[in-house]
Structure 1
Amino acid sequence: MSSLALAVRHDHLSELTRGQELPLPALDSLHIEIILALLQRAYNELKIDLPHAVATGDEKHVTGLMVDRLNHLVGADPVASLLIRAVSRGAETKNYDATRFEMRPDIQISLTGRQHLFPLIVECKLLDTPNRKTVDLYCHDGLARFSTGDYAWTNREALMMAYVRDGATISSHLHPYLDVASKRTPAEYAVVSLPGRCAPSLPDAAISDHGRYFTYVHGSHVGKAPGDIRVWHLWVR
């Protein structure tokens, strides 16, 4: 890569993170649990109002419905509106070294306590084993993006959401899958801690911690490691 191209990439990163110390401070766990409950509520309401769409729609269709319902809920819920500015789908962003400019996380939640350029990222996946939507894809095409620096590279946390259609649970499918992955050399998905139950009011939610394979490449952050990322998993059915 030419020195000019490299300089342009670093200019983009420096402008994005202007005045910020990376990684950003961790979000309060209670606030994330409130957001998880809001995601669960949005899905539950859609199941009642649009059962066929939720039961048969593809991942993009269901996620689009989720984003619209979430924005309605935020507007009507005084607690949620204290935390959340807006929810968007597929907004373009860049990865940690700006080699990829057209990254599009499934859901981006803009928070009132944080600059809108640094949303909370939610990656969504269908789980439907008969149709080859498996926990392997959930991890390979979703969870892995946080360790490689594609998504949430400025943050200390991210969310994964599964639309479950085959009876899978975090304890029966995700935990054993990551347990095996953690014992490989090197550990796959940079597993630091296996999924542990969280948000007891929710039917199926857990937290896992993962290392990250990159260091920052721009400005005063050059060579700095981002540290582990905490991933909150919500599986709805």
Structure 2
Amino acid sequence: MSDELLFLYGDLAPALLRGAAVSLRLIIPSAVLGFVCGVLAGSCRVYGFSLLRWAADAYVAVFRGFPLLVQLYIWYFGMPRLGLYLSPYEAAVLGFTLCSGAYHSEYIRGALLSIKRGQILAAQAIGMSRLQTLRHIILPQAVRRALPGCGNEWIYLIKYSSLAYMVTCIELTGEGKIVASSTFKYTEVFAAVGFVYLLFVTLATWVLKGLEKRLTLPGFEFHRV
């Protein structure tokens, strides 16, 4: 067996598989929890009372304004000074979740504002409470309308999950860096790492397109000219 095949099957492939598994463990919970945070924050910003609106606006301003890498450093290196010790994985998931949630909230907020006020008045006329109206009438429509924007954020999350390596969470990029440093095959290794991310993004795009098609609201379909 040639040296290149030994490198591929003995070093690179096992490392990429380990790294891809860790990356998925970072991406999936961060995507789900970030979306939930975004829905809650977006709803508070539009329909919450003044204190909730202020808190949600402050959350979005901070987590959209601070660079994600700085946030990760604060969670991993800064929190121990306050007595909170997070593992690299926990710090990465927390950072990704809160940052992603801030961006999701903007998409959700825009979608909520696009709902006609007449629907809210009609729901109130049949005796639905404010919370029932939001849960059963407004949010189902808003989430569907926000899906393309939220899908973009999930795609970004796949790619910026590579920053977890900076807080010593050895995911796909971290495994690639270790292999490249020991073999000096930087071009080959990081081309392979990039290809795995491309596969993740392609798969996520395919899933999102199917989800958008399935959840499209009548009258909001996209028709090619």
Please report the TM-score for the alignment, with normalisation by the length of structure 2. 0.30
Structure with bigger helix share is 2
Please report the TM-score for the alignment, with normalisation by the length of structure 1. 0.29
Q: Which has the larger radius of gyration?
A: 2
